[in-house]
Amino acid sequence: MDREEEIQDVLRLQDELIHHRAAWDPDPWLELNISTPQLKALLLISGDEGIRMRELARKLGGSFSNATVLVDRLVDRSLVERLDEPQDRRVVLVRTTRKGRHLIERLVTSWRALSAPLLETLTSEDLATVHKALRVLQGAAQTNK
């Protein structure tokens, strides 16, 4: 198997693992009371200590006014807040609130409901292999920031 085939096989295995929904807790996702565009905006905002509204609009691929409407709705739900740019008061920054960060954390870690029971079934040797593989992936993620 060449490198590209191996990568595709790993991705396929990952997909299969995620499809074991009987053990996966979708509740944090199902409880969301925000639209898909709002969720996209929230995820983009969460990656920074503050993102400029123009940059957010660019990343969303829409207009500044559309981004403003999305942010307004997220502000109404106390998931994000607007801040003035210290160097240029004409610029508006947006960042997640504690409530917004908590929501994202719940969504990101919802996979643990699937992972923990599966990890408990592994032998010590297999668990060490998974641990090593995740450390390697974490290192690759740190390198690609």
pLDDT tier at 48, thresholds 50, 70, 90: low
Domains of the chain as residue ranges with CATH: 1-25+110-145 (no CATH), 32-96 (1.10.10.10)
Report CA-CA distances (Å) from 64 to 58, 59, 112: 8, 11, 36
pLDDT tier at 51, thresholds 50, 70, 90: very high
What is the rounded CA–CA span in Å between residue 71 and residue 55?
Answer: 13
- The number of beta carbons lying within 10 Å of the beta carbon of residue 145 is 4
Q: How far from chain centre, in Å, is Cα 81? A: 18
Evaluate if residue 29 carries a pLDDT over 90. no
Residue closest to 75 by CA, chosen among 34, 129, 119? 34
**pTM of the model as a whole:** 0.71
Residue closest to 44 by CA, chosen among 66, 71, 64? 71
Evaluate if residue 25 carries a pLDDT over 80. no
What is the rounded CA–CA span in Å between residue 23 and residue 31?
Answer: 18
